[in-house]
Structure 1
Amino acid sequence: MKAFILRHFDLKISIYANRFASSFVSLHTASVPSSYPQNQSNFFTTFDPYEFLDESRNYTLEEIKIIHTHFLKTNSLHSNIQFANFLLRSYCKVSGFDYAHKLFDKIPQPDVTSWNLFITSQNRSSKYADSWRTFCRLHSFGLYPNESTYGHALSACVALNFVNGGKIVYSLALKHGFSLDGYIRSGMIDLFLKTCGLNDALRLFNDESCGNVVCWNAVISGAVRHNEDYVGLNLFQQMCRGFPSPNRFTFPSVFGACGKLRELELGRMVHGLAVKYGDQEDLVVGTAIVDFYAKCGQVNEALKKFSRMRIRNVVSWTAIITGFVQQDEFQAALQLFKEMIILNQEINNYTVTSVLSACANPLLFRESLQIHCWVYKTGFYSDPTVKNSLINVYSKIGAVALSEQVFEEMQDLINPSVYATMVTAFCQNGTIEKAFSLFKKMLVEGLTPDISCIPSLLSVTNRLELGQQIHCYTLKTGVLFNHLVGCSLFTMYSKCGCLNESYEIFKQIQDKDNVSWVSMISGFTEHGYAYQAVELFREMLLAKNVILDETTLAAFLATCSSLRFWKTGKEIHGIFIRQQDEMSVYSGSSLVNMYSRCGDLKSAKSLFNMMPFKDHISCSSLVSGYAQNGYIKEALHLFLDFRSSGLEVDSFTVSSILGAVGDLSHSDTGEGIGIGIQLHAYILKLGFESNVSVGSSLVMMYSKYGNLDDCLKVFNTIKTPDLISWTAMINSYAQHGKGLEALRVFELMKKSGTKPDAVTFVGVLTACSHSGLVKEGYTYLKSMVNDYGIEPGQRHYACMVDVLGRSGRLKEAERFIRNMAIEADALVWGTLLAACKVHGDAEIGKIAAEKFIELEPSSDGGYVAFSNICADMGQWEQVLKIRNEMKGTGIKKEPGWSYV
């Protein structure tokens, strides 16, 4: 063919021209019909340019350039605008935007189609500002745009977030009668959704009735993207009642809304419509259906739909895998991922992160390592999101060292989100120092910490100084008003006992949600400010956007329990019944606890029997309620009933029943210790002996029976003793006169890093008083103030008075009382009065008795004690006077009693 062309052209033609001619002839002969004359010598004289205007044929860029060249040679390009538009359209199809732009500049008189094609090419090459300028040129030339022109111009405005420009374009379209065009209206709706908000888009949509499915799809998908899912579903229902009918572009948004809202029944109906319209076979719609069922927890339905899909893509696979992960069916998720690899399916980073989240279980540590190796082999290890997932997975399974290794291997360490993940990993595994060190490193390197790591740091901060530093940082950076940060901050202050600071930050949060209210109410309740918690709950009822859900009401029930507000708790119970949903089933434990602590055991037992699902909290609450109200044997029988009925017995229930058994020591020592030993054997069988709460309860039970050796044995089996365990052991020794042993345990406690509280120091001072350790008593009293910042209370001062009184230092004890930082109560004066009786000091005893009687005028203890002192001293006239005073005030001496 090349030889044939060379015989008909000047021999000086270039080699490039030879190649061009050869290609062109091949192109032309391929496009002509079989009846076309095959006389190659007459090819150019018989060339018909209209034969190339076939839109159904897909030309390559080289072929379009050849056609373009011949159009120029034959002058066809300048004689007919159709040829120019054909070339513009063809260049756009093959993304030859630079050629299209140059061609447009050479067209002498472009028509509206030419301008539209030029604007399209600029939009497709992301030159949106140039596209807007081209539209302005078109309008300035006096040409009349059509609906396509306005649609392309609006697309440019959407990309540029150019609201005013979009409004101008829409006004012109409205003026020229194109406002009802679906392309134009949907473009304007998209612009409003992206820049102004959903309300403006809905206002535009509702201006005139619209039968164009594109507009309906735009506004429905926009509502779902703006998390106004119910608005989107309402629009879909309107669409189904009228015109137009939904299509395959409508259903994905609707299924997405149903999935987020977990509207299973509504989603099933939408599925039925998709089947009716024949759109469920579409790949995107089918994937949306799988994702919907997965989000609603119906993984079997999701798997059924997934298995029936003829074509699946990576989104479909990821949706079904994520569904199994969300339902904690990790093995099934891993098996699906294995099938993806075997079938050589496309896998993206979303699939990998979903599978990695399935491995966040200590039992799947081996699988985590295998996927880590696969990630490294396939190149996904370079993706920051995948590395973040690896860090998170290793953190959750307790392998924080591996998390740290992945973090150190990351090349792009300047990503704040990666730092945040690592900080959170350190926090979750208790390595607080490393977490703060890494946070400081971010600040030193000039990085802005990801806001998500600040709540993690605040959640593990138990030092007020560190929490205050983070507070200053949030003020400096302006993230204090972030809802999650603000909630974490006031919770930190509450945890550190700074309720005033906590409440001040709580008040600064603008849009308080249920979590904020519950956290603040719980903070007040836990720190003894239950009345303030009640007032806060009343304030919450008047607030907007607050839903009385299970968590909110359970928090307030805890407040009612601490205050013994039986009537108020019953009102809350009424709210549960009025809501008539499943909430009362799940909140039954809180109600049982409230009734039990308020002493209404009949209501507690009745409600417990009505609960379809009984948990360990409700069982423990009922047992504790009977025990605390003196029904010890009933509590034991209830515990046995739980065991025989097959209810799960956990450490909380066992601890409650141990406390009840300990109380039997006052009534029947033989029976009590026997039951206690049986319970101890049962605990060993369950494997609870190392549990800290069970161990502490056993220590206290054996202490009440005086078995200190058993106390020590049980204490040594506790895996990690906490403050309560240490305090129980100290009190056990202190109450039985083993003061030196109690103090040795206290020193061991300090060495272990456990910080003592006010109750611990009561035990320590009691040990000093029972062993006559006056000097040590003063030392520990000063230590609790200077070393731990604990202000002494009446019980601490009473212990110190007892230390002095037992040692016969009564005058020193009186001076100590008068120099106390707080006003002494009846307990302190009564302690001194008892010491005066032992040592026969009538003078100081009279002072102590007068003070005691003044503070407790209705008690017979002060009169009797002072009377006995006078009797021992032979002062019978004084004894008679005291007894006459008792008769005058109507006070009677309580008769003595004994178990024996």
Structure 2
Amino acid sequence: MNCLANESLNLLKISPSSAWRLLSTVTNFRNPSLISGKDCSSLAPFNPFHFFNDQTNSRFCTLRTTRILQAHLLRRYLLPFNVFLTKSLLNWFSISGSMGDAAKLFDTIPQPDVVSSLIDAFSKSLRFQDAYKVFRDTLSANVYCWNAIITGALRIQDYGAVFDLFYEMCGGSQKPDSYTFSSVLAACASLGNLRFGKAVQAQVIKCGAEDVFVSTAIVDLYAKCGHMAEAREVFSRIPNPSVVSWTVMLSGCTKSNDAFSALEIFKEMIRSSVEINSRTVTSVISACGRPSMVYEASQVHAWVLKSGFYLDSSVAASLISMYSKSGDIHLSELVFEDMSDVQRPNIANVMISSLSQSKKSGRATRLFIRLLMEGGRPDEFSICSLLSVLDSLNLGKQIHSYTLKSGLVLDLTVGSSLFTMYSKCGNLEESFSLFQEISVKDNACWASMISGYSEYGYLREAIELFSEMLADGTNPDESTLAALLTVCASLHSLPRGKEIHGYSLRFGINKGMLLGSALVNMYSKCGSLKLARQVYDRLPEMDPISCSSLISGYSQHGLIQDGFFVFRDMVISGFTIDSFEVSSILKVAAISDESSLGAQVHGYITKSGLCTEPSVGSSLLTMYSKFGSIEDCCKTFIQISSPDLIAWTALITSYAQHGKATEALQVYNLMKEKGFKPDKVTFVGVLSACSHGGLVEEGYSHLNSMVQDYCIEPENRHYACMVDALGRSGRLREAESFINNMPIKADALVWGTLLAACRVHEDVELGKLAAKKAIELEPSDVGAYVSLSNILAEVGVWEEVEETRNLMKGTCAQKETGWSSV
């Protein structure tokens, strides 16, 4: 018999040297003399059964190699009569992407058993329609054919087809086996369809098909649906759980945030000498990704190093993510740098995402650039993560250019992240342009664009965009409705908010925490606290955002006791309270006439260690400022670990409100020395300090500095501070001239400030002018009427006093009754 090299040469008509090279690759020969020699009699007989049984040979799977193997098997009359070899060759054609050759081979098969192999081959190539056509052309499909087509539908996530095929199979002559049940249960788990999954489980018990594979699939179903008690019960009945069974149970505990149960399962696996794989390790590492489990995380990391799993790239990636979620990004970077040069490029994307999620935009950007310079390819996850923390429009544009060159811009998540980045950087026009270029928009796209409009005050446009979304045929989900409710809250549009609430009830989208929190926030800001409380009481669990929204609502309406009751419930329930909730309750304490309440909240904050947070410190500063304790303001500011611009501004404003102009300006200069750039709010505090201290020239200097040094256009509140400074100094005519020469139209606040100064200096004529302007701009402003009436009363013009008071009554404006606390 001729040797394999001559057979390949004759069949494929290639040169002898090429044939020898290919033969050596296929048979994995390692003797150089056999490759170069011409005598093939010394070659060991090629055994195709051993070759296909050896899984390591799959690395030689190319179209050319597969065709040579086919030629050899045909020459030896093994095709198409041997089922094993025919199935193996069909699989190799599928892997090498030549479904045409696979179809030709299938046409020569006399045995119908191999139909399932072709169906499976088409399915693995994600050509489900072709697989389905072969399946329907089969006259008598056996259970293997059914399993192959159901698995194919599962592979492309066509769960409807999975269930339809399963129903059809149950009604026919072929009955489902354990493989069938496992596939159908996997579809139920992916959809979270516990009701149908239980029906399948009942059929499994009825048919007696409950083996380790089916039981594992049932455990996975319950775990993914959040029913861990039922999952444990099924798991306990498995006689000899496989590593897959253990891992499914461990992953279920991790996803249910039951980290300690996940660790106990992992310890039990070690004690039971179960062979642990990388999937198990990544699951237990994920369970330790929280700040409260630093010790457990270090123990698991030590075990990973000892067992050698650190060489696995997926395990290394999980370690990086674990330390990042634990709040120690430095350890994530150490893990990344300790990796080998071969591993590091594959994990760089995970490191970029971790740095971005930890708000380390500078380091994430540098690693992104390093990855590009080393020839790596950033993926869509790292790009989306980096775009989410960028505040530089120039850098964002460069990443946009990269996505265009690499083709990643076509990815829906990348496209959404790009227009969100432009929106966040203030380029709303470019953001909307990119949004329009996305051909198929999902709910996340619409919600992000609506939020962008809302953030920049384009509230009407946000509402119109929602109407466009409905016209486009997209059904809004919870995130979209939550974004729209935020718009309604900003507009104080209670009727529109109720409409959206009704829509969510009608279509059953009212059960999630995201929408519930948005509803509480909307009703609170719209002043409907009764409805806000009703929605809050019906939430499935206590939520920090909804609690804070309700507390803020109570604060705005002076319901101090109700606000403290909500906060007390949060503390009693053991809820982890962060800086956001604390800031809300401090606002309530600030309007209370009992400073002891604020002191109690401060005590709680000190115990919880939140005093160093800038947002909490700023709220405490504001509270003590309103209580009149500037000394406590200073102590609070010193406790802040890294004061931000808001904290600096709060301290400047506190000094200004207490007439300590010199100290306020000293703090302002110190703030600039620390590298902070003032914003509009900061300048309100600075100019207020100048007005309270009678520092007119310094006020002019800072007003000019706004435009010249920081490119900030002054608003009416800044001009009002200057008018107040001039008024306090008795320079009323200069104040009038200042108002008339303002680059923007003066509002009621500016004229009202001048009116107050006229009263102090008893300038009746200018006071009448200022009052007239203020009333024209804001007819319902009680303060203007009262100030004018008092000026006239002080000079004894009682007729005009009566006329002013009648005018006030005619506009239905009412003066609030004065009160004081001792």
Contact 1:442 1:449 in 2 (8 A): yes
For the structure 1 residues 457 and 679, does the alpha-carbon distance in structure 2 shift closer, same or farther, using more than 3 Å as the test? closer
**Partner residue of 1:516?**
445
Instruction: Give the Cα–Cα distance (whole angstroms) in 1 for the partners of residues 27 and 461 of structure 2.
Output: 72
Partners of 1:620 and 1:652 within 8 A in 2: yes
Taking the TM superposition and a 5 Å limit, the aligned residue runs for 1:874-889 are: none
Is there any run of 5+ residues in structure 2 with no aligned partner, and where? 3-25, 30-39, 41-45
Say which of 772, 781, 800 aligns to 2:703.
Answer: 781
Q: Helix, strand or coil: the match of 2:635?
A: helix
Report the 3-state secondary structure (helix = DSSP H, G, I; strand = E; otherwise coil) of the residue aligned with 2:178: coil
Offset, 1:221: 0.6
Distance 2:108 2:439 in 1: 42
- Residue 569 of structure 1 corresponds to 497
Could you say what secondary structure the match of 2:340 adopts? Answer: coil
Q: Which moved more, 1:580-589 or 1:516-525?
A: 580-589
Does the 8 A contact of 2:622 with 2:650 survive in 1?
yes
8 A contact 2:808–2:814 mirrored in 1 = no
Deviation of residue 220 (structure 1)? 0.7
What SS is found at the alignment partner of 2:408? coil
Say if 1:159 and 1:420 are closer, same or farther in 2 by CA, change over 3 A.
closer
Q: Provide the residue aligned with 1:705 in structure 2.
A: 627
Question: Within 2, Cα distance between the matches of 1:649 and 1:359?
Answer: 18
- 2:101 aligned with 1:181: no
Q: What is the alpha-carbon distance in structure 1 between the residues aligned to residue 394 and residue 202 of structure 2? A: 60
**Pick from 547, 562, 565: which aligns with 1:635?**
562
- Indicate the SS of the match to 1:480: helix
Answering whether residue 95 of structure 2 is matched by residue 159 of structure 1, we say yes
Residue 181 of structure 2 is aligned to residue 220 of structure 1: no
Q: Mark the CA change 1:220 to 1:870 in structure 2 (over 3 Å): closer, same or farther.
A: same
Matched residue count: 779
Q: In the alignment, what sits opposite 1:448?
A: 377
The amino acid across from 2:491 in the alignment is: L
Matches of 1:728 and 1:288, distance apart in 2: 57
Distance change in 2, residues 1:481/1:370 (3 Å)? same
Provide the C-alpha distance between the structure 2 equivalents of 1:246 and 1:789, rounded to a whole number of angstroms.
73
Structure 1 residue 418, shift from structure 2 partner: 1.3
**Which residue number in structure 1 is paired with residue 163 of structure 2?**
233
Q: TM-score, normalised by structure 2?
A: 0.81
Shift of 1:566: 1.3
CA shift, 1:461, in A, is 1.9
Q: How does 1:252-651 map to 2 (within 5 A)?
A: 252-281=182-211, 283-413=212-342, 415-544=344-473, 546-549=475-478, 551-580=479-508, 583=511, 587-611=515-539, 613-630=541-558, 632=559, 635=562, 638=565, 642=569, 650=577
Contact 2:782 2:815 in 1 (8 A): no
RMSD: 4.5
> Aligned partners of 2:103 and 2:702: how far apart in 1?
78
Q: Give yes or no for contact 2:319–2:332 (8 Å, CA) kept in 1.
A: yes
Please give the secondary structure, in 1, of the residue aligned with 2:380.
coil
CA distance in 2, matches of 1:128, 1:636: 71
In structure 2, distance between residues paired with 1:640 and 1:319 = 39
Q: Which residue of 1 aligns with 2:21?
A: none
Go from structure 1 to structure 2 and tell me whether the alpha carbon gap of 1:242 and 1:546 turns closer, same or farther (over 3 Å shift).
Answer: same
CA contact (8 A) 1:698 1:714 kept: yes
Amino acid at match of 2:331: L
State the shift of 1:226 in Å: 0.9
In structure 2, relative to structure 1, the CA distance for the partners of 1:567 and 1:204 (3 Å cut) is farther
What is the DSSP-based 3-state SS (H/G/I as helix, E as strand, rest coil) of the residue aligned with 2:279?
helix
Is the 8 Å Cα contact of residues 859 and 891 (structure 1) preserved in structure 2?
no
Change over 3 Å in CA distance of 1:224–1:527 after alignment to 2: same
Select 1:733's aligned residue among 641, 645, 655: 655
1:899 alignment partner in structure 2: 819
Looking at structure 1, the residues matched to 335 and 278 of structure 2 have their Cα atoms a distance apart, in angstroms, of 17
Counterpart AA for 1:461? L
Structure 1 partner of 2:725: 803
Q: Tell me, yes or no, if the aligned pair for 1:801 and 1:828 is still in contact at 8 Å.
A: yes
Change (3 A) 1:446 1:525: same
CA–CA distance in 2 between the matches of 1:303 and 1:621? 38
Change (3 A) 1:607 1:189: same
| Deviation string, structure 1 residues 441-480 (Cα, Å, up to 9, x no partner) | 1222232223321122222223333333323332333322
Contact 2:504–2:510 under 8 Å retained in 1: no
SS at match of 2:286: helix
Q: Name the TM-score, length of structure 1 as normaliser.
A: 0.75
Do the aligned partners of residues 97 and 850 (structure 1) sit closer, same or farther apart at CA in structure 2, a change above 3 Å counting?
A: closer
Letter in 1 for 2:346: S
CA distance in 2: counterparts of 1:647 and 1:369, whole angstroms: 27
- CA change 1:119–1:474 in 2 (3 A) is closer
- Answer whether contact 1:860 1:891 (CA < 8 A) is retained: no
Change in CA separation of 1:538 and 1:854 when aligned onto 2, cut-off 3 Å: same
Does the 8 Å contact 1:289/1:305 carry over to 2?
yes
Contact 1:577–1:584 (Cα < 8 Å) also in 2: no
Q: Give the distance between the partners of 2:176 and 2:541, measured in 1 at CA.
A: 43
Q: Is the 8 A contact 1:493 1:502 kept in 2?
A: yes
* Counterpart residue identity of residue 158, structure 1: S
Q: Give 1:37's aligned residue.
A: none
Could you tell me which residue of structure 1 aligns to residue 20 of structure 2?
none
Which residue does 1:250 correspond to in 2?
180
Amino acid corresponding to residue 740 of structure 1 in structure 2: T
Instruction: Tell me, yes or no, if the aligned pair for 1:860 and 1:892 is still in contact at 8 Å.
Output: no
**Distance in structure 2 (CA, Å) of the matches to 1:888 and 1:737:** 33
CA distance in 2 between partners of 1:676 and 1:312 (Å): 57
Amino acid at match of 1:258: C
1:828 lines up with 2:750 in the alignment:
yes
Measure, in 2, the Cα distance between the counterparts of 1:624 and 1:323.
37
For each residue in 1:827-859, what CA deviation from the matched residue of structure 2 results, as whole angstroms up to 9, or x when unmatched? 334434544555566787677566556545676
1:684 and 1:654 map into 2 onto residues whose CA distance is 11
1:633 offset after TM fit, Å? Answer: 5.6
Contact 1:886–1:892 under 8 Å retained in 2: no
Asked if 1:211 corresponds to 2:141, the answer is yes
* Kept after mapping to 2: 8 A contact 1:480/1:486: yes
Cα displacement (A) at 1:783: 3.6
1:583 CA displacement: 0.5
**Paired amino acid for 1:763:** G
CA drift of 1:219 comes to 1.1
Q: Tell me, yes or no, if structure 1 residue 765 matches structure 2 residue 707.
A: no
Contact 1:416 1:450 in 2 (8 A): no
Of 565-574 and 204-213, more deviation after overlay is shown by 204-213
Is the alpha carbon distance of 1:819 and 1:171 closer, same or farther for their aligned partners in structure 2, counting shifts above 3 Å?
farther
The verdict on how the C-alpha distance between 1:583 and 1:479 changes in structure 2, with shifts beyond 3 A counting, is same
Unpaired runs of 5+ residues, structure 1, are 1-67, 70-94, 99-105, 107-113, 665-670
Q: Which moved more, 1:146-155 or 1:598-607?
A: 146-155
* Separation (CA, whole Å) in 2 of partners of 1:639 and 1:411: 52
Q: Which residue of 2 aligns with 1:56?
A: none
**CA drift at 1:410:** 2.0
